Amino acid sequence: MSKTLKRRENGRLRGFTLVELLVVIAIIGILIGLLLPAVQAAREAARRMQCTNQLKQFALAVQNYHDANNKLPASRCTAGTYGRMSEGLDNGGANTGYSINFALLPYVEQSAVYDGIIATGTTGGTPQPWTDQDGSAIDAQISAFLCPSDGNSSQPSPDKSHVWRSNVALSRGDGMWDCERLSGWSTANDTRPRSLFNPFMWKSMAAATDGTSNTLFCSETVSADVSSSSKVKGGVLGTGSATAVNSVDSNLTSRSNCFNSRDPSDNTSYDTSRFTPATGWRGCRWADGRICVTGFNTVFPPNSPSCINGTMDNNWGIVSASSNHSGGVNAAMMDGSVRFVSETIDCGSYLTEKQNHGRAKSLFGVWGALGTPAGGETDVQ
């Protein structure tokens, strides 16, 4: 036998020593340690690309909707033929919360789901966006609304066992005050001009006078693990307390507190001494069009805290886009293009709603300018 393979010493085969084995194991461990981050980065890059493609298809769907209807979808609408495109601020009824996701179903190859919901509404069933009925149309899992970077995306909502999530969030401009109100608008607080998408309003693409390439359509949201999640990505805070009211009102200091409410020790939780978790169901109901569930405004940069005031049906406040992609979020523009928006994007200073209201140009920096369709900020990139 070749001496290069085996050597004999005192008539015995000589093997590896313990030290040699430990050295080999250490080398293998180092190689795995070097390789694993690269593998994880490659997998996340693939997930991010899939999320980008989903947003691209969603942006194309809204363009096709506009071509077919000469209008853009409303941020909230009614299911059933009795209210599908009824213009007005106060439609009433139990199912007035349907999202743009619902309106775009036929344009993302989900016509059967759309027709099933419409049929139920037409027969008086008035299905609500959070209806929990196994096997019904409303309980469909729509892959076009999901991003695999969200670890919860493959799981049903913690709200109901047959309600599914959405990682797509609709841009609601840079307005905050009473952005879900269906009636009783006042001129002083009217946020409708700050966005292309409002409850029960079907605007034209022509309303984007800044240009479709300079106007946001949608971005991403991480879905909450529980209703009152206090996590920065996917959580909503502050309902029902004086601190929360001030955080989105004219109190400059409190709004700064909202932005700085993260616990610096782990960057994943809030300072609950100032804010308490709120019922938000962030990203947990794909058919629910309320801003705290499937929307965002361009006030704080991506992956910032969200602080709201009011009930689910008429909430308002600062709702931030979020994702698990490193450093920012994907965002689709009205022209169908998709950009990666850094969480360090310029958002101006901690200016208030009252300071911003009534102005054409947004005071919330580049991010605010991208959210407004008619602010005259045609040079933002």
DSSP string, 178-239: TTT--S---GGG--GGG-S-BBTB---GGG-TT-GGGSEEEEE-PPPSSTT---TTT--B-T
Split at pLDDT 50, 70, 90, the class of 268 is low
* Tokens encoding 83: 């209210």
Residue 57: CB atoms within 10 A of its CB come to 17
Domain range list for the chain: 45-371
State residue 152's pLDDT score. 86
Beta bridge mates, 342: 328
**Alpha-carbon span 377 to 381, nearest angstrom:** 10
Q: Is the pTM of this model over 0.85?
A: no
| Closest C-alpha among 381, 213, 217 to residue 296 | 217
Tell me: pLDDT of 282 over 80.
Answer: yes
State residue 80's pLDDT score. 54
What separation in angstroms does the CA of 377 have from each of 176, 240, 339, 366, 373? 19, 35, 18, 9, 9
SS3 of residue 169 by DSSP? strand
Give the mean model confidence (pLDDT) for residues 237-254: 48
* Residue-averaged pLDDT of the chain: 76
For the ranges 13-17, 112-116, 163-167, 351-355, the lowest mean pLDDT is seen at 351-355
Between strands 328-333 and 8-9, the pairing is unpaired
Could you tell me if 259 and 137 are in contact, meaning their C-beta atoms sit under 8 angstroms apart? Answer: no
Q: Which own/partner pairs from 350-356 qualify as long-range (CB within 8 Å, at least 24 positions apart)?
A: 350/252, 350/255, 350/256, 350/259, 351/252, 352/249, 352/250, 352/251, 352/252, 352/255, 353/175, 353/176, 353/177, 353/248, 353/249, 353/250, 354/250, 356/174
